[in-house]
Structure 1
């Protein structure tokens, strides 16, 4: 156990969006936790720090950062007795918002202290846990452009959107893929494959698939081969929640997905907002083990005994 027999370990990303803009945010949260929590900053992969904390016996491990930090901690905790809690200090915080976690750090810390653990099923990409989404094609290219902009100008949602626009205007490189969706196979040429495991994120963009996620499946979206103008139209329809399912995107709801790309061994992948290079084929499935997540009191009452993803 950590110093002073703390029951909570807070794993913080010093480079996360909110911490970089407002260093006092984490301080205010730690003041609310008091002696119940120990702070451990990390560099690189947060999973290593989370694994160590779980071995030491911490009951609650708080991922203080954005969706990438949360996914890394979740990867370490799935199937363990330790519960994941989220202190939303990133740029978009989709998973925390899906949990209805307050965005104010002090209020979020209070909600964690008053919350309750709840088991959920999470997705895996080649064995690595993800909570929101996995994508190949256009979206990883957007992340690469976004990180370059962050390094130069700092993190903000506006800058993220501008980087997305710049990528769309420059991107035109569809992939030829062999997809295995459950027991069916198909060949397809598409500039973007997007797999969702977050019903909340789908709702934010007016996309179908929330029921499939509750039914232990994924929502898979494929963009038809398009021009740059077509990409811009799709982006505008996503923002305004007016996507035409079937025309703008093709939708499937499989429980298992395998992606192969002829003559390629590795590919750039976006996983919960982090860009990774992964070995092909890509295998997407539900993790065999549940992840315990701390829900704020109001959300815990709504969820009841359900184990669906949030």
Structure 2
């Protein structure tokens, strides 16, 4: 019998996504299982099946009395687990095993899996603010337009060539070459309405991710607002040029994009739109509403920093 009370934060359930990027190292799964074997009374590993939803697995772990639920995977897996835990007393632990790991890196969580595993035992839970789009949680960003199409292409490239940052960038180039449709929308930021024709609306909630790509707007996020990027309607070759500038950290506000900021963002329109949030895609019915969630998520971090990263 476990010496820890049901619901105790000392009881740890690791939800391991075997399909994540693994930082290019398939041996990371073995490291996680070995860690659980060293702490059998405290740690359990649940390996997600192919069709198993991480959020459902996280809710089941909470019902089983685990107080710390660990997302072992990329930002998509972490976001799904976080959505299930938000509003509960459970703590979120993170093992960054994806391709980019923006959320973990923004919180200072080690990319070295052995160090990240040690953090689960030694770290403290800190409040981290999260956001939502039409009621669905996101950690780093959510977007409409060409970026969801890029993600669709990326999954196809991953299936063919495997997961890597090079494959991710290649999917960007392939998508932009074939992209043809900008959309006229009404964007409402803190009550101010603007009409724009744009191929991309990108709502950022991660200061770290913006700084990683050399983009403005990180200070808006640290002050509790969204940074909203509107791409100009420049055609597919213009978008390809901007993608190259972005990868080279050379994007410039006003020349290459319009940057807005605010606490409430609505995109008005009709019908169902494809929305990307932290790498996952789904159809949502307009209007598309972006909001900050009032209650923070409790995340195990190595220090006392707060915010969305």
Q: Does the 8 Å CA contact 1:26/1:105 hold for their aligned counterparts?
A: no
**How far, CA to CA, are the matches of 2:139 and 2:2 in structure 1?**
28
CA displacement at 1:172 relative to structure 2: 2.0
Q: Does the 8 Å CA contact 2:128/2:297 hold for their aligned counterparts?
A: yes
**How far, CA to CA, are the matches of 2:65 and 2:267 in structure 1?**
38
Q: Does the 8 Å CA contact 1:174/1:189 hold for their aligned counterparts?
A: yes
- Alignment match of 1:249 (pick from 252, 257, 265): 257
- Alignment match of 1:29 (pick from 28, 32, 49): 32
Residue 191 of structure 2 is aligned to residue 178 of structure 1: no
Dislocated runs of 4+, deviation >6 Å? 1-6
**How far, CA to CA, are the matches of 2:226 and 2:70 in structure 1?**
26
Gapped regions of structure 2 (runs ≥ 5): none
Gapped regions of structure 1 (runs ≥ 5): none
- Alignment match of 1:295 (pick from 281, 286, 301): 301
Corresponding residue SS for 2:290: strand
RMSD across aligned positions (CA): 1.9
**How far, CA to CA, are the matches of 1:112 and 1:4 in structure 2?**
16
Q: Does the 8 Å CA contact 1:7/1:37 hold for their aligned counterparts?
A: yes
Aligned twin of 1:110 = 118
- Number of aligned residue pairs: 300
CA displacement at 1:171 relative to structure 2: 0.8
Aligned twin of 2:280 = 274
CA displacement at 1:120 relative to structure 2: 1.4
CA displacement at 1:56 relative to structure 2: 2.7
Q: Does the 8 Å CA contact 2:18/2:29 hold for their aligned counterparts?
A: no
TM-score, normalised relative to structure 2? 0.92
Aligned twin of 2:17 = 13
Q: Does the 8 Å CA contact 1:99/1:295 hold for their aligned counterparts?
A: yes
**How far, CA to CA, are the matches of 1:288 and 1:24 in structure 2?**
39
- Alignment match of 2:215 (pick from 207, 223, 232): 207
Corresponding residue SS for 1:253: strand
**How far, CA to CA, are the matches of 1:270 and 1:244 in structure 2?**
24
CA displacement at 1:209 relative to structure 2: 1.3
Residue 155 of structure 2 is aligned to residue 151 of structure 1: no
